[in-house]
Amino acid sequence: MASATVRNVPLLDDDTIPFGEEDEMRDPSRAGEKYTHPYVTFFHLFFRGAAIVIYMFCGWFSDSFITSFVFVVLFLSADFWTVKNISGRLLVGLRWWNYVDDDGVSHWVFESKNSRINKHEQRIFWLGLILCPVFWGLFFLMALFGLKFKWLLLVMIAIALNAANLYGYIKCNYGAGKDLNSAATDFVKTQLFKNAMDIMTKPSTAQPPTNVRPTGIV
């Protein structure tokens, strides 16, 4: 496992498939399909989309703030766990996590791997990761100016969970040592360039061999 090669980072207890070896477990029958992880792609969008839909239309079905709060938080929690532990690893080859060493010091690990990444799944992953915090940001402004302070708390929880995954994966993609503002700017430039190239050229079928590349530890 690659993370064990950097500053003796410990293995994750739930790391049943070593990071960087997911391609070896891939079903060969899905090699020519548009989506190699269709269920993962679906749930990457389902939980976060469901949380937004419930927040917007919960008043149609129940007048109870507690019921709406619980359901939204449940879907937000499921989304956070799914994106952090499953979809980021399988769809874009990125992972971030935390461990505490023997001295009680907390370390954040940001990893990326060079492997066969499906471009369609990659585009959906980043689109969902970026757009949902934008929606929650709009809900924050609406709740703030509408003086709906109890809903403001729920929106802040949603922003915190969505922003944590967005921050972690940007750090994975561009390195743990880079400033977030610089990384975000580079990310936007890269995505615009990729979209322009996709329009002008066909996607290449050649893929680099699997090679794990830890980007750093904080």
Find out whether 133 and 126 touch, Cβ atoms under 8 Å. Answer: no
| Residue at 3 is within a domain | no
**What are 130's two structure tokens?**
């970026």
pLDDT in tens, 159-206: 999 999 999 999 988 875 555 555 556 656 666 666 666 666 655 444
- Per the structure, the complete domain to which residue 125 belongs is given by 34-194
Q: What pLDDT is attached to residue 16?
A: 53
Find out whether 111 and 3 touch, Cβ atoms under 8 Å. Answer: yes
Q: What pLDDT is attached to residue 206?
A: 47
| Residue at 215 is within a domain | no
Q: pLDDT category, 62, cuts 50, 70, 90?
A: confident
| Residue at 125 is within a domain | yes
| Residue at 173 is within a domain | yes
DSSP code for 71: H
**Mean pLDDT of all residues belonging to the chain:** 78
**What are 113's two structure tokens?**
């791997």
Q: Which of 193, 156, 186 is nearest to 170 (CA)?
A: 186
pLDDT in tens, 104-127: 888 888 888 876 788 899 999 999
| Residue at 204 is within a domain | no
| Residue at 10 is within a domain | no
Q: What pLDDT is attached to residue 17?
A: 59
Q: Which is higher by pLDDT, 161 or 209?
A: 161
Taking the C-alpha atoms of residue 67 and residue 73, their distance in angstroms, rounded to an integer, is 10
Q: How many domains does the chain have?
A: 1
| Residue at 137 is within a domain | yes
| Residue at 107 is within a domain | yes
Does the pLDDT of residue 96 top 70, yes or no?
A: yes
